[in-house]
Structure 1
Amino acid sequence: MGSLLISPLLMLALSLVAGAQEDPLFPFSEYLDHGRDVRLRWGFDKATDIITFELTVNTSGWVSLGFSPNGGMAGSDIVIGGVGPQGTYFTDRYAEGNELPSVDKEQNYKLLSLTEVNGQTVMKFQRPIAACDPQDFSVTGIPIKLIYAYGIDDDISYHGSQRGTKEINLLNYMPRSTPSDSKYFDLTMTNYTIPDVRTTYYCKIMPAPFFDRKYHIYRIEPIVEHLDMVHHMVLYHCPPSVTNPHEEVCFHSAEINQCLQVTAAWGVGGGAFEFPEVAGVPIGGDGRVQMYRLEMHYNNPSKLKGRVDNSGLRFFYTSELRQHDAAVLQTGLAVSPGYAIPPNASMYHTYGLCDTSLMRQIGPEPAHDLHVFASILHTHLAGRKVRVGHFRDGQQIDFLTFNENYDFEYQQILNLGETKMIKQGDQVLVECTYNTQDRNTITWGGLETTDEMCMVFLLYYPALDISLCHSFPSPDDLVQELGMTNQK
């Protein structure tokens, strides 16, 4: 057990453009009925084990929302509320069957507000994510059948046809937009023969289609031909100085290394990702063909021969511009052999720091606050946990995101559950925890799958002209921590 000390030598690199904000408590929204009379908005914070809801129903009567094991009333955890002649009422209930649910012995729902205006009732409330008693329903990372019902007045009785059910994954929600002019383009490898070596990083610089005006990318999908070999993909936007399409092994040429602005990333086990309705990645409108570098990490431990790959990413875009431009900020530890993890360690920590107070020193415009809505956490095989602490004025105020059971084979984009604001001057500290009990030599930071990484991609808006904010370890502290007599 140990910790890797760092000096906050911050590396910053240039990136994108601008915007303002949504309600951070309720980043997700769904209509529960076809007539759009019942709308549910929600957000959650796993660090505090709280999920917050706003139920809006076009009625002046009682309203209810339930969590059902099968879509019916029996066994459902239900909350009922409204605004009556005597004021507001609100109760946590449990349904034994198709009858008025009984009041739960333990009231584990907290009312935040309840209003009735112009024939519309709005009920805001919180509850724990995990069940608190046998009559509560735990919210998990799988789809849940939500039931709703409401009345025309405050007499809580049979709802008639004013009820329904809808299955939603509350903790892993993925919106699905269908803009009227939606189109897509692909950026992929072209008949690339994967080498018969364990690790290959291959880069391809290519143009996106030309757009005569600005569009927003609102959905990104992976195209993966060889799931057993494609470990991850990162797409970087290139500066105007890069104009020639070509491909080569990564990290060797100056031109390849100019493309540093992360636009999209995918890791093994991940799926499609759709941006919140207030934000999209901008493309076009600057009068030039935009160039991108697709970085492919192929992991071929069996050294198989003859695999030809056309994997890459698909981008759905629309002319219906959203309120903000979105971007990606890469933070954590810089990828280099400058940090190490000792062998036979059951729980070893490394730390990467992003100090946002340094951003204002390099940007062409004053840096603004970041509204973070999703993340991708990334280590290699020894990684067991990743936590991203949020600090302000020297005190930790939150976890931006975390995964206490990190799985190398399942690296998906994680919605944060609520939009979290990083103010200028805040610090973001990435902690990675490793287990090397199956190793008898030092594990160095590096590109091989058997090397290690500690990085986090934060998806946020409005976009800044900054894409990297990470740190290097202090060499002296590293040597001392590992008990080495010299750096060789």
Structure 2
Amino acid sequence: MTCVLFKLCLLSALVAVSQSNRLGPTSHLCYSRFLDHSNLVFLRWDFDLEAEFITFELQVRTAGRVGLGITNHYTNVGSDLVVGGVLPDGNVYFSDQHLVDEETLAEDGSQDAELLGLTEDAVYTTMRFSRPFCSCDPHDKDISSDTLRLLSAYGLDDTVKLSREQTFIKSLFLLQVIYHDVVDDPQETIIHDLEITDFLIPEVDTTYACIFLPLPIVNKKHHIYKFEPKLLEHNETMVHRILVYACGNASVLPTGIGECYGFDPAFSLCSQVIVGWAVGGLTYQLPDDVGISIGTPLDPQWIRLEVHYSNFNNLPGVYDSSGIRLYYTSQLRKYDMGVLELGILTFPLHFILLGAESFMSYGLCKTEKFDEMNGTPVPDMQVFGYLLHTHLAGRSLQAVKYRNGTQLQTICKDLSYDFNLQEIRDLPHLVDIKPGDELLVECHYQTLDRDTMTFGGTSTINEMCLIFLFYYPRNNISNCLGYLDIIYVTRELGEDASENPMENLMVMDNVEWTPENIKKAEKVCKESQQTVMIKTLDEQIENTTGWIPDIIPTPRGSCLESSGGKVEPQDKTPTGFRAVPMALYSLSIPILRPLPLVALLFLQGTLSWLLATLQDRV
């Protein structure tokens, strides 16, 4: 069914491009997802980026009312909800509403949703409507490129009230863009699985299991054009992330399965990501002119497969065989793809204070040495996709590009990040990165639920700040990560600073943090000089330094005035439904604590190497 829907979607997309008008009551919708665990609530949608309109079709197994809208991060109160249904006498009702409390709906003064179809049969109630991305109604939530929390609801009858048992919330990235036009896989498609086999998941909250595996052996160049996760159904909740790293062909690699960041540093070799998956992600297909090259002397022959497990309940005797499935072909594409990892070096020097309503961290990348480290001039990098990654305290991320000291654009962002929805996303337009550009990653955290400091680390209950950029043509640079000057930060906060970076972290871990000095610490961290660590596929490392530039916020787009009614910021319209006079077209996680600093340093197997790097800088 998914394949058929996708074929229809591609055909309709061609028509939509030529006509460039809003999706109507008969248009096929490209995207779909179940919104509940029991597969009772099914959503289809599509959008027009130029017209800034989106069309939804909600299909629910019920003969009562149905509703769809967007909710807030922490509460359903104030949620934007479109409600409709078919009365026993056959009349249709439909209304743009909002939640005034957890159960009570009130009609918006401005009706910004346009009904395209509403039917009921023996099994389903189906409602199709469109709305602008941004209306002028303060009760409406904007449709944006951020993660959105969709609220869906239904009732067994037409009573205008929400029931907790029939209300569901699911995070979705609605404005995804498909850049591949191939309906069927290439004729010469070959499948290859990279997986850990029968691995006994330890009875601890976090495990990074690594194994080195060969890539497919081919006698000429091929391109990987699609990949997807391989997850055992009963282990899905324990697998947090899967990454595949390319190894330099001169690397001496260990055998068997080992802890990636434990006491044997050999299991952390290879750092250039070529494909990846994280919680909430699905199958990903590359644009039609881009592929991951294998089979040439310049391509890796071996990879490191890294599987991150989160066994928070310490379940014993759980075996797993997760991995990544690759689809590759001899039908070559125009460009070879690469992945550039940006953000903050994952290490305790990245710290987040406890009890913070908001705490910003920054990771700087300076590309001025890319040509030198690559061995040849680096062509302009054309970024077409990205993957965002923080852990549980993360609330938003963005990557910003600067050239000659001037901010040019936001490469990618999600101001409503959800840890449980980490999927690869395509950009609506290519972003070019030239050697000499500076790239800044900003991560926003909230730690109101924590009573100790949070440090950078590999555990899910510690933190990361990473963005993976998917680009072409490929070069030899794998990482460009920044970290702050902890000695400067300690001194500026009025504490006695040590030349040993770890001792400074211990000092700050014992400070009593108030809202005022949390903000001061955030400011000092941003003003600190950053060390930028650049790494190549062959594990060559070069350090440079730089300063964090300011980020100029992107102006918010204008809203679209509705013809459905007057905008009333203090809406006093009584609860009710707008009549539809026209004939309608008939449509057939537990509470967690971050690891203490001492335990974190003990577990972090790369400590000695990183300390040496820091000492070289000092």
Common fold: TM-score over 0.5:
yes
Q: Aligned partners of 1:216, 1:484: CA distance in 2, in Å?
A: 55
Match of 1:159 in 2: none
| 1:191 and 2:198 are equivalent in the alignment | yes
Q: Partner of 2:345 in structure 1?
A: 334
Letter of the structure 1 residue corresponding to residue 217 of structure 2: F
Name the TM-score, length of structure 1 as normaliser: 0.68
Please give the alpha-carbon distance, in whole angstroms, between the structure 2 residues aligned to 1:253 and 1:444. Answer: 22
Partners of 1:259 and 1:216 lie apart in 2 by: 21
Alpha-carbon spacing, 1:483–1:190, altered in 2? closer, same or farther (3 Å): farther
Give the equivalent residue in structure 2 for 1:99.
Answer: none
1:365 aligns with 2:376: yes
1:344-403 deviation line (CA, Å, top 9, x unaligned) = 111100000111112122111111211001111111110001011111121211110000
Conserved 8 A contact 1:65-1:78: no
Residue pair 1:374, 1:459 contacting (<8 A) in 2 also: yes
Of Structure 1 and Structure 2, the greater strand share is in 1
CA contact (8 A) 2:177 2:427 kept: no
Of 385, 396, 410, which aligns to 2:421? 410
Give the drift of 1:198.
0.9
1:472 aligns with 2:483: yes
Matches of 1:287 and 1:323, distance apart in 2: 17
| Distance change in 2, residues 1:287/1:335 (3 Å) | closer
Give aligned-pair identity as a percent: 35
Q: Which deviates more from structure 2 when the two are superposed, residues 247-256 or residues 365-374?
A: 247-256
How far apart in 1 are the matches of 2:463 and 2:372?
Answer: 31
Counterpart amino acid of residue 378 in structure 1: H
> For residue 7 of structure 1, what is the aligned residue in structure 2?
none
User: Which residue number corresponds to residue 238 of structure 2?
Assistant: 229
Pick which of 344-353 and 220-229 moved more: 220-229
Matched, 1:173 2:186: no
Q: Secondary structure at the match of 1:371?
A: strand
Structure-2 separation of matches of 1:482 and 1:266 = 39
Amino acid at match of 2:242: M
Counterpart check, 1:274 vs 2:230: no
- CA contact 1:31–1:38 (8 Å) conserved in 2: no
Name the CA distance, whole Å, in 1 between partners of 2:351 and 2:270. 27
Describe the shift of the 1:32–1:481 C-alpha distance in structure 2 as closer, same or farther (beyond 3 A).
same
- Deviation of residue 253 (structure 1)? 2.9
The answer on whether the counterparts of 2:181 and 2:288 sit within 8 Å (CA) in structure 1 is: no
Distance of aligned partners of 1:234 and 1:480 in 2 relative to their CA distance in 1, 3 Å threshold:
farther
Which residue number corresponds to residue 67 of structure 1? 23
Which residue in 1 is equivalent to 2:256?
Answer: 246
Per-residue deviation, residues 64-110 of structure 1 (Å, max 9, x unmatched): 532235649xxxx999xxxxxxxxxx9x9xxxxxxxxxxxxxxxxxx
Offset at residue 334 of structure 1 (A) = 0.7
Match of 1:295 among 302, 306, 309: 306
**Contact 1:198 1:302 (8 Å CA) reproduced:** yes
Structure 1 range deviating more: 226-235 or 289-298: 289-298
- Partner AA of 1:249 in structure 2: E
Give the AA of the match of 1:240.
Answer: N
Cα distance change on mapping 1:357 and 1:267 into 2, 3 Å: same
Q: 1:424 aligns with which of 435, 441, 447?
A: 435
Unaligned 5+ residue runs, structure 2? 1-5, 29-45, 54-130, 149-172, 498-503, 507-618
User: Is residue 206–residue 310 contact of structure 2 (8 Å, CA) maintained in 1?
Assistant: yes
- SS of the equivalent of 2:368 reads helix
What is the CA–CA distance in structure 1 between the aligned matches of 2:136 and 2:310, rounded to whole Å? Answer: 44
Match of 1:361, SS?
helix
1:37 to partner: Cα distance: 11
Structure 2 CA distance for aligned equivalents of residues 196 and 309 of structure 1: 13
Are residues 1:382 and 2:393 paired? yes
Contact 1:31 1:39 in 2 (8 A): no
CA 1:306–1:467 in structure 2 vs 1: closer, same or farther (change >3 Å)? same
SS in structure 2 opposite 1:227? Answer: helix
Q: Distance in 2 between matches of 1:425 and 1:306?
A: 51
Q: Distance in 2 between matches of 1:432 and 1:289?
A: 32
User: Where do 4+ consecutive residues of structure 1 move more than 4 Å?
Assistant: 29-34, 36-40, 138-142, 480-484
Determine which of 445, 461, 471 is the counterpart of 1:460: 471
Q: Following TM superposition, by how much is the alpha carbon of 1:255 offset from its aligned partner in structure 2, in angstroms?
A: 3.0
Report if aligned partners of 1:387, 1:399 keep a CA contact under 8 Å in 2. Answer: yes
Change (3 A) 1:71 1:362: closer
Q: Give the conservation status (yes or no) of the 8 Å contact 2:388–2:467.
A: yes
Residue identity matched to 1:428? L
Aligned-partner residue type, residue 68 of structure 1? G
* Alpha-carbon distance in structure 2 between the residues aligned to 1:287 and 1:256: 23
Instruction: Report deviation, 1:287.
Output: 9.6
| 1:103 aligned residue | none
Deviation at 1:439, TM superposition (A): 1.1
After superposition, the Cα gap between the structure-2 partners of 1:230 and 1:236, relative to the gap in structure 1 and judged at 3 Å, is: same
- The count of residues paired between Structure 1 and Structure 2 equals 363
Alignment RMSD (CA, Å): 3.3
Q: Distance in 2 between matches of 1:322 and 1:182?
A: 14
Tell me the TM-score normalised to structure 2 length. Answer: 0.54
Aligned-partner Cα distance in 2 for 1:392–1:31 = 42
Amino acid at match of 1:248: G
| Aligned residue type for 1:189 | I
Deviation at 1:256, TM superposition (A): 2.6
Change (3 A) 1:180 1:132: farther
Deviations 1:184-211 (A, max 9, x none): 1000010000000111111101112211
Q: Which residue is equivalent to 2:328?
A: 317
Matching residue of 1:110: none
**One-letter amino acid matched to 1:218:** Y
Cα–Cα, structure 1 residues 383 and 282, in superposed 2: closer, same or farther, change >3 Å? same
Cα distance in 1 between the residues matched to 2:291 and 2:14: 27
1:171 partner letter: L
Structure 2 counterparts to residues 82-101 of structure 1, below 5 A? none
Q: In the alignment, residue 362 of structure 1 is paired with which amino acid? A: M
CA contact (8 A) 2:248 2:300 kept: no
CA drift of 1:262 comes to 0.9
For residues 243 and 180 of structure 1, do their structure 2 counterparts lie closer, same or farther at Cα, with a shift above 3 Å needed?
farther
1:325/1:37 CA distance change after superposition, 3 Å: closer
| 1:393-443 alpha-carbon deviations (Å, 9 max, x no partner) | 212111100001111111111111111111221111000000011112111
Structure 1 pair 481–347 and aligned structure 2 pair: CA distance change class (3 A): farther
CA distance in 1, matches of 2:225, 2:256: 27
What is the CA–CA distance in structure 1 between the aligned matches of 2:377 and 2:47, rounded to whole Å?
A: 48
CA contact (8 A) 1:30 1:39 kept: no
Determine if contact 1:208/1:292 at 8 Å carries over to the other structure.
yes
User: Aligned with 1:362: secondary structure?
Assistant: helix
Q: Is the 8 A contact 1:374 1:416 kept in 2?
A: yes
Contact 1:206 1:246 in 2 (8 A): no
CA deviation after TM superposition for structure 1 residue 458, in Å: 0.4
Rounded to whole Å, the distance in 2 between the matches of 1:253 and 1:202 is: 12
After the TM superposition, which residues 431-450 of structure 1 pair with which residues of structure 2 at under 5 Å, given as runs?
Answer: 431-450=442-461
Cα distance in 1 between the residues matched to 2:10 and 2:463:
48
